[in-house]
Amino acid sequence: MGGLGAGGVEDAGGGAASARDRILRAAGELFTEVGFDATPTSRIAERAGVPKGLVHYYFRHKPDLLAALVQRLPEELVDHRRVVVPGDVAESLRRLVAALDARLGASWALSRLLWREADRHEAVREALRRRFARIVEQVRGVITAARPPTARRADVDSAAGLLAAAVSYRHTLARRGERVRPLERELSFLADALTLGAGCPRPPVTGSAAPRGGSGSPAPGSAAR
């Protein structure tokens, strides 16, 4: 039985899905080896073993190949059951970040190529933005699943966005060959902030707790004598 080719189309071997997959594989290899600008579509077709016209049939513009290659990055979604520790947000997020880091390591060359070319191609930027949004959803889901039902209300959306941005920044540094440190302090900080209900508006101070003028304290707007 054939597997799934690029785009989720079943590849029975030698069919249209197989040709598209070969084109993408060849494009990824050549873009990584010699660069996007230095790779003509004729060379992609030659390496893929298909007519040049078939490359343009599947990918009207050359940057469309880059956008399609984003889909060949390892799936960033992690099964929550593998990382969530009920009642322990910090440990759950540690496991999630480790899983996301492992996926970067599994696609180092392709990942580096795509993020480099994103500066010049809107189609690639848009594909990567959608990918980032899925990571935010992933973090939000892990936080929600790990928090106990009795936990205080907190701004989980902001926490998810902050952590996703931190992970993406670390991955950007790693693609440049820079050493990155673990996010231990950031994860602990986020978990503690969520526990304290960070980001939720506090109830207004009313009644006897509200400051007011009276004996021993000047009324608002008056000068002390």
Within-domain flag for 3: no
Q: What is the pLDDT of residue 208?
A: 53
32 and 113 housed in the same domain: no
- One domain, residues 84 and 189: yes
Mean of all residue pLDDT scores within the chain: 80
Q: Which of 100-104, 147-151, 183-187 has the highest mean pLDDT?
A: 183-187
Confidence label for 52 from pLDDT (cuts 50, 70 and 90): very high
Alpha carbons 18 and 50: distance in angstroms, whole number: 11
Mean pLDDT calculated for residue range 39-51:
95
Contact criterion met (CB below 8 Å) for 98 and 78:
no
Evaluate whether residue 208 is within a structural domain. Answer: no
Instruction: Burial-class residue 123 by CB neighbours within 10 Å (0-12, 13-18, 19+).
Output: middle
- Look at residue 1 and tell me if it is in a domain: no
Beta-bridged to residue 10, according to DSSP, are 4
Please provide residue 152's backbone torsions phi and psi, each rounded to the nearest 5 degrees: -60, 155
More confident residue, 200 or 143: 143
Q: Do residue 89 and residue 48 come from a single domain?
A: no
Q: What share of the chain is helix, strand, coil (3-state, %, to 5)?
A: 60, 5, 35
Q: What is the pLDDT of residue 201?
A: 66
Nearest to 145 by CA among 82, 98, 76, 99: 82
Residue at token pair 């590849």: 11
Whether 190 and 90 map to the same domain: the answer is yes
In a domain, 219, yes or no: no
159 and 87 in a common domain:
yes
On whether the CB atoms of residues 59 and 100 are closer than 8 A, the answer is: no
- Which percentage of the chain shows pLDDT scores above 90? 40
pLDDT in tens, 174-204: 777 788 888 999 999 999 999 888 877 665 6
The verdict on residue 142 lying in a domain is yes
Q: Give residue 54's pLDDT band: very low, low, confident or very high (50, 70, 90).
A: very high
Same domain, 86 and 46: no
Are residue 108 and residue 17 in the same domain, yes or no? Answer: no
Confidence of residue 157 (pLDDT cuts 50, 70, 90): very high
Banded model confidence at residue 105, pLDDT cuts 50, 70, 90: low
Q: Rounded to whole angstroms, what are the CA distances from 137 to 25, 40, 42, 144, 162?
A: 29, 37, 40, 10, 12
Cα dihedral 131, 133, 134, 135 sign = positive
Structural domains in the chain (count) = 2
Interior angle at CA 33, CA 32 and CA 36, nearest 5 = 55
Which range of 40-54, 59-73, 101-115, 172-186 scores highest in mean pLDDT? It is 40-54
Nearest to 160 by CA among 182, 133, 185: 133
**Whole-number Cα distances in Å, 47 to 19, 39, 116:** 11, 11, 23
Q: Are residues 104 and 173 in the same domain?
A: yes
Domain interval for residue 189: 80-195
What pLDDT, on the 0 to 100 scale, is given for residue 136?
94
184 part of a folded domain = yes
Query: For residue 221, which phi and psi values (nearest 5 degrees)?
Result: 90, -10
Residue 23, in any domain of the structure: yes
Q: Domain containing 100 — which CATH number?
A: 1.10.357
Which pLDDT band, with edges at 50, 70 and 90, does 74 fall under?
A: low
Q: Would the pTM of this model clear 0.85, i.e. be above it?
A: no
The structure tokens 């990155």 sit at 180
Judge contact between 190 and 162, C-beta under 8 A.
Answer: yes
Give the model's pLDDT for residue 13.
44
